């Protein structure tokens, strides 16, 4: 019974967990690994997952934690890097910024809230549960993140049209 239930969970949610990891990291290979690691954790803690109010949000929370840890490790590695050829981005470049690169520029919590609210159409309460933060924190981070993302994408309506095209971000 447990195997069949987990298999069903896996089949229903693997793609969405991988997509979430991709939107958080911007790396397809890393996203697949993080989704696999998250599903391993779901299996290890299956009793907790099934006892949760929202097992899907529980799984997404695991993905978010793994993505945050990956981003932190990567940031530390970059700080320790002595690569003299590392290029800085030119803030005056007039090229259109795509959703992926704009998402990477948001702080983790804002990025997580924006992705979960808009790309995964989760309610504020579901996002709060997945991230283990208050609904008020979700509202604030989502508002600030959406505003910052819109600015990065060139403002208002144009940015919102691009946000609606999440599938193209993968």
Query: Are 38 and 104 contained in the same domain?
Result: no
Query: Are 34 and 69 contained in the same domain?
Result: yes
Token pair belonging to 68: 């945050």
Task: Average the pLDDT over 138-167 and give the result.
Answer: 70
Q: Which domain-ending residue is among 17, 52, 80?
A: 80
Query: Are 106 and 153 contained in the same domain?
Result: yes
Query: Are 25 and 71 contained in the same domain?
Result: yes
Q: What is the chain written as a DSSP string?
A: -HHHHHHHHHHHHHHHHHHHHHHHH--HHHHHHHHHHHHHHHHHTHHHHHHSS-HHHHHHHHHHHHHHHHHHHHHHHHHH---TTPPPP-TT--SPPPHHHHHHHS-HHHHHHHIIIIIS---HHHHHHHHT--HHHHHHHHHHHHHHHHHHTTSHHHHHHHHTTGGGG-
Give pLDDT tens digits for 86-139: 444 444 333 334 677 888 899 999 999 998 998 888 899 999 988 999 999 999
Give pLDDT tens digits for 14-37: 999 999 999 998 888 999 999 999
Query: Are 43 and 73 contained in the same domain?
Result: yes
Predicted confidence at residue 77, as pLDDT, reads 64
Does pTM surpass 0.75?
Answer: no
Number of domains in the chain: 2
* pLDDT above 80 for 160: no
Give pLDDT tens digits for 30-60: 999 999 999 999 999 999 999 999 999 999 9
Instruction: Give the domain extent around 154.
Output: 99-169
85 domain-assigned: no
Query: Are 116 and 76 contained in the same domain?
Result: no
């Amino acid at each position: 019974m447990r195997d069949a239930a987990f298999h069903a969970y896996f089949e229903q949610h693997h793609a969405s967990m991988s997509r979430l990891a991709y939107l958080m990291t911007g790396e397809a290979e890393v996203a697949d690994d993080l989704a696999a690691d998250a599903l391993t954790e779901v299996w290890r803690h299956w009793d907790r997952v099934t006892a949760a109010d929202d097992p899907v949000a529980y799984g997404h929370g695991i993905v978010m934690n793994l993505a945050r840890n990956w981003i932190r490790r990567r940031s530390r590695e970059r700080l320790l890097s002595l690569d003299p050829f590392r290029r800085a981005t030119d803030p005056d470049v007039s090229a259109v910024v795509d959703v992926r690169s704009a998402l990477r520029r948001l702080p983790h919590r804002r990025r997580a809230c924006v992705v979960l609210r808009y790309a995964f159409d989760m309610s504020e309460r579901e996002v709060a549960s997945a991230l283990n933060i208050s609904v008020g924190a979700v509202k604030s981070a989502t508002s600030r993140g959406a505003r910052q993302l819109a600015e990065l994408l060139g403002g208002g309506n144009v940015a919102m049209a691009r946000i609606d095209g999440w599938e193209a971000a993968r």
